[in-house]
Amino acid sequence: MAVICLLLAGGVAAARFGIVLAVLLLLISIVLFIGITVINPNEAIVCTLFGDYVGTMKQGGLRWVNPLYSKARISLRARNLNGQTIKVNDKMGNPIEIAAVVVWQVTDTAKALFDVDNYVNFVQIQSEAAVRFLTSSHSYDNMEDEHEAVTLRDNTGQINKFLEQELDERLGQAGVRVMEARISHLAYAPEIAGAMLQRQQATAVVSARKQIVEGAVGMVEMALARLAEKDVVQLDEERKAAMVSNLLVVLCGEKSVSPVVNAGTLYN
C-alpha cells in the first residue's frame, strides 16, 4: 500500500512538472516569436531600452530583437527635396525668384531621431534657409560698373557646390548627408523682370558696338599702313582724317552705305 501511494505521488509530481515545463516552453516560444522582426532593404531599426539608446540594426532580412526594446523604423534611402520657388533679394538688393533640388540621405540614425525634433521637416527648413543665405551672398549677374567673380546666373557649377557645402554644414547635426544640390529655378522677380531685360539688351548692344568699333579701328589702321607701305597714294593729314571718317561710317553703320564715285581729283 505504501508503494502504491509513493507511485501515485510521483505521478502527480511528474504531471505537475510537465505542466510547468510546458508553460515555460510556451512562454519562451511567445517571447521568441514576438522578438522576430523583418528589416527591409535600405531600412534601419533604432532600438532603445527604457529611454536609453541601445543601437541600430541595418542588416536586412528576418531578425530577432529583444521584445523589451522600443523600436523605431527609419529609411536609409536617398530622397528628393524639390524646394518651392521663393523670392529673395540678391547681394545687390534685386528681388529674384529661386528654387533648389536637394538629394539627401540619412547616415546617422541616432542623430536623425534624437538630435532634432523632426528630421524631415528639419531638412526642408534648413534647405530653404541655405538657399536664402546663398542668394543674399551673391549677385544675380554682373553689373556694368561692378564685376563679381561668382554670380548666380553665370557660375551655376560653383553655386551648386557652395549650396552643397552650406547644406552639409547645416544638416550634419541631423545625421543627414547631402548627395546633390542644384539650383532648379532662377529668374528676376516679375516686378523688375522687364527693366532687367531692357538693361541686359542694352548691355548686349553696347558690347556688340564696342567690338564693332574696335574691329573698324583696326581695319582703318591696317588700310592706312598698307597704303603707306605700298606707296599707292600720298595723303596729307586732312585727307587721312576724311578717309578715316568715311571708313568708320562704312564699317560701323547699321545699314549698307551707298558709295559715291569722285570723278575729279581728291582736292576738288
pLDDT of residue 123: 95
DSSP string, 193-252: HHHHHHHHHHHHHHHHHHHHHHHHHHHHHHHHHHHHHHT-----HHHHHHHHHHHHHHHH
pLDDT of residue 8: 45
C-alpha cell read off for 248 = 568708320
**Average pLDDT of the residues of the chain:** 77
pLDDT of residue 240: 65
pLDDT digits (tens, 9 = 90+) for 155-205: 888 999 999 999 999 999 999 999 999 999 988 887 765 666 666 665 666
Cα torsion 183, 189, 194, 198: sign: negative
pLDDT digits (tens, 9 = 90+) for 75-94: 999 999 998 999 998 888 88
Lowest-confidence pick of 71-75, 128-132, 141-145: 141-145
pLDDT digits (tens, 9 = 90+) for 40-54: 888 999 998 888 888
Question: For the domain 79-188, what is the CATH code?
Answer: 3.30.479.30
pLDDT of residue 4: 46
